[in-house]
Amino acid sequence: MGKTPCITYTRAGTARRSGRGVSMDIAGSRYFIVPDDVPSLLFHKPVDVVDPSGEREGTAWLSPIHGPEKHELTTLIEQHLYVIGFRDLGRILGGEAIAVPVREYHPI
């Protein structure tokens, strides 16, 4: 019998719309995907995640989950992976939700 990989998520913060971009509050710090990068992100290109002063803190990209049609926003910041569901991302960018959860990915 082989071991089955187990993945867990813990709540890490919230994401909000910031102009036409995305603001993420994670572990007491704020990070942004700037509006100019959102179109690149939606065309499956990685984009920079920056802090309030504009310094690069990480990278964000859309990645498939469970099948080719479903995606999540995955963000690597300081060797931690954070995830926002694609539907949640669409809801905040479309103005349908004020805030959505950001979860930290933990492979076990």
pTM for this predicted structure: 0.86
Is 90 inside any structural domain?
yes
Q: Please, which pLDDT band fits residue 36 given cuts at 50, 70 and 90?
A: very high
CB 108 within 8 A of CB 8: yes
| Residue 7: per-residue pLDDT | 76
Q: Is residue 2 part of a domain?
A: no
Three-class SS state of 33: strand
Count structural domains, the chain. 1
| pLDDT value at residue 68 | 62
Measured CA to CA, the distance from residue 11 to residue 63 in angstroms comes to 19
CB contact set of 74 (below 8 Å; sequence gap of 6+) = 60, 61, 62, 63, 81, 82, 83, 105
Could you tell me if residue 11 is inside a domain? yes
Looking at residue 69, its pLDDT comes to 60
Please give the C-alpha separations between residue 35 and each of 15, 69, 87, 105, in angstroms, as whole numbers: 14, 24, 18, 25
